[in-house]
Chain A
Amino acid sequence: MEIKKGIAVSPGIAIAKPMLIDSKDYRIPRRSILPSNRAREIQRLRKAFATAISELEEIGSSQDIQRNNIQDIFAVHMRFLRDRSFRKRITDFISKELVTAEYAVSAILREIASHFAGIDDPYISERAADIYDIEKRLLVFLLGKRQEEVDHLREEVVILAGDLTPTQTAGFNKSFVKGFATEKGGRTSHTAIVARSLGIPAVVALGDMSSEVPPECVVIVDGYRGVVVIDPDEDTLSQYDQYSRQMTQFTSKLNELREFPADTRDGFHIQLMGNIEFPDEAQMVVEKGGEGIGLYRTEFLYLYGGQEPTEEDHYEAYAEAIRAVQGKPVVIRTMDLGADKLPHAGWHTNESNPVLGLRSIRYCLQSLPLFKTQLRAILRASVLGDVRVMFPLITNLQELRQARMILRDVMEDLDEYAVPYNSELPVGIMIETPSSALTAGLLANESAFFSIGTNDLIQYTLAVDRANEHVSTLFSGAEPAVLRLLRSVIQDAHKAGIGLSVCGEMASDPEFIMLLLGMGVRVLSLAPPLIPEVKKIIRSVTVEECNQLSRKVATMDSHRQIKNYLRDATTRILPETL
């Protein structure tokens, strides 16, 4: 039994067999296999070699390669792949050490590479790069097969990984994934967001988990306390069974709130909406009592399927969500990915700082065909319900005007073909950069609504990468700098009389609900499974006491002081949540 402590990012308890997922971009952890699976792993290795060889044959026969020096490099790779003693070294390692094929490949090739790298002769030490190339070629196949296994799961599992990329999670068969446990990541990493929206427990930042996950064991993911137990003993297992049942009872009690409005004790209505990633989650928003979709992330369309989504792909996804919420509002956010994350963009330039690079609306404004395809689908879907469109990462008025101009272009195109759409489609923006927060007054003149994306706003304001475990403790929504920006955006929106919501993680953090209400927020959009809990808080407070709390917080000077104050206030109201 091994107990690991991490950060709880999505509540719940999962007890299931582990499914291990590795990425070629990280060190491949040592994974043990049962002796009876030796032959299977060796067979996988054989297939990886055969695939790599046929790939190289294909590349080597192409015309541009033939005349080039690269041919030599491929010829060397080919000889390595056909070298029996090389392959034997890897199969021997699998048999003797009882490890997975991918670990054996990684371990042996790295050993060879470091042998080369250590030789004091530039011609030879350079060859280490060739070995890494061969390693990658073999791993792409081996890990690809593992990913296929995850996509076609037949039994319940918890996913154990270094970190999960959107592409990996997009393919998961969600009905069989019961929990996530990752070595890296933070409260707002992709794994955390996906887990919360699916309503399954997740623990991240567990550190090195590679040390011996025994084959055929059970893993417990405790998304309340941020604990993962690998291969638990009988006692631990039965304790967790009981604990899990208690928590389920508490959750079902919260779900009884579904029929009650999210009104404060002094009669103010707070609109609670759901953030979704996949169209099938719209149903969960309704089940949890959400009053619409406040943030429909559309990135999954670009990450799944291997090619750029067609207008029909977009349209069908939007239509499904719009129909599910039966006339309630649906805010569709346009593509919010970095160019580096788009698998089919053909983008090979390495950006030294992608978070500040070509991404999101910036990428869309430079890739008009892609942007227009999405806008056309949104416009066509706009007649199916109360649809609104939202542009992410706006930093100035110019960008907003450009985006709106393109939207008008698309409208004119649709007019030409007499395709119906809502010509009054409300156009809003995400406020998630300090520059847009500081100029919210200007932006409000040309926006129908604002949605504050607290995750990015915090990251850009505090200059902290939330996924970097070395600085993630500096990432705090309670920083006075962040709260000042929030306050001023809220005031500017009210002054202009436009809609305002908060759709970042802060909107689902029990400790921040009173503060947001006190600062004047009346619309929150959050992960659907968390709606009942937030509703319970809202129904337990008065706006008057929230206002007082907010005024008090405005006088405080450190995030720690603010955080403690907010925690105490929340604990008094709803002790079970913390």
Chain B
Amino acid sequence: MSKSTHEIEVEICNPEGLHMRPAMQFVDLANSFHSDISVSHQDIRADAKSIMQMTMLAATCGTRLKITAVGPDAGQAIQALRGLVENKFIDDSETAVGEKEGSV
């Protein structure tokens, strides 16, 4: 599989920001891909697969984050993470899947 780089900018728009549960979902989702994924906010860069680094980004509501993925499944990773953020981390899995399909 070829390595590719994908990058995207998203805005955190759920009121709690990257609070416990959202951060957890984000990290869990990132960990389901093979690609290296990083998230940066201003000049701070975090490993999307590390809950410590992600929570330390302190991404509150309205924060803009740049997500960069490098690896075989970089494209899918970016799409999935964007879906999660744009759907405000709605965790009811059935709704989340439905909306994700709609947005892609």
Contacts and interface: CB of A to CB of B under 8 A. Distances in A.
Interface of A: 72-73, 75-76, 79-80, 83-86, 89, 112, 115-116, 119, 121, 123-124, 127, 130
B60 A86 contact: no
A80 B19 contact: no
B56 A84 contact: no
Closest 3 CB pairs of A and B: A86-B52, A85-B50, A79-B51
Contact of A123 (B17, B51, B53): B17
B84 to A, nearest CB: 16
Given A124-B60, A127-B55, A76 B50 contact: no
B69 interface: no
Contacts of B27: 79
B20 interface: yes
Interface in B13-34: 16-21, 23-24, 27-28
Contacts of B58: 115-116, 119, 121, 124
Contacts of A112: 52, 56
B47 interface: yes
A76 B20 contact: yes
Nearest to A121: B60
7 contacts: A75-B24, A85-B47, A112-B56, A115-B56, A116-B56, A123-B60, A130-B20
Contacts of B56: 112, 115-116
Contacts of A124: 17-19, 55, 58, 60
A83 B17 contact: no
A76 B24 contact: yes
Given A75-B24, A76-B24, A121-B58, A83 B51 contact: yes
B20 A80 contact: no
A84 B60 CA distance: 24
Given A116-B55, A123-B19, A79 B60 contact: no
Contacts of A127: 19-20, 55
A89 to B, nearest CB: 7
Given A76-B20, A83-B52, A124-B60, 5 more contacts: A75-B24, A115-B56, A116-B56, A119-B58, A127-B55
Interface string B1-17: 00000000000000011
A402 to B, nearest CB: 51
A84 B18 CA distance: 20
Interface of B: 16-21, 23-24, 27-28, 47, 50-53, 55-56, 58, 60
B17 A80 contact: no
A360 to B, nearest CB: 43
Contacts of B24: 72, 75-76, 79
A350 to B, nearest CB: 26
A80 B23 CA distance: 11
B50 A123 contact: no
A119 B23 CA distance: 16
A123 B52 contact: no
A91 to B, nearest CB: 14
B63 to A, nearest CB: 10
Nearest to A85: B50
A86 B51 contact: yes
B50 A84 contact: yes
A414 B97 CA distance: 72
Nearest to B91: A72
B50 A72 contact: no
Contacts of A80: 51-52
A76 B17 contact: no
B52 A85 contact: yes
Contacts of B28: 79
A162 to B, nearest CB: 28
Contacts of B50: 83-86
A80 B55 CA distance: 10
A183 B104 CA distance: 63
A121 B59 CA distance: 10
Contacts of A116: 55-56, 58
A85 B60 CA distance: 22
Contacts of B17: 121, 123-124
Nearest to B58: A119
B45 to A, nearest CB: 12
A72 B20 contact: yes
A409 B22 CA distance: 61
Contacts of A72: 20-21, 24
Contacts of A76: 20-21, 23-24, 51
B87 to A, nearest CB: 18
Nearest to B60: A121
B60 to A, nearest CB: 5
Nearest to A87: B52
A344 to B, nearest CB: 33
Contacts of A84: 50
Contacts of A89: 52
Contacts of B52: 80, 83, 85-86, 89, 112
A123 B23 CA distance: 12
A79 B28 CA distance: 9
A119 to B, nearest CB: 5
Nearest to A124: B58
A76 B19 CA distance: 10
Contacts of A75: 24
Nearest to B57: A124
A112 B16 CA distance: 20
A124 B55 CA distance: 8
A116 B55 CA distance: 9
Contacts of A123: 16-17, 19, 60
A119 B28 CA distance: 24
Contacts of A115: 56, 58
Nearest to A119: B58
A72 B16 CA distance: 15
B65 to A, nearest CB: 14
Contacts of A79: 24, 27-28, 51
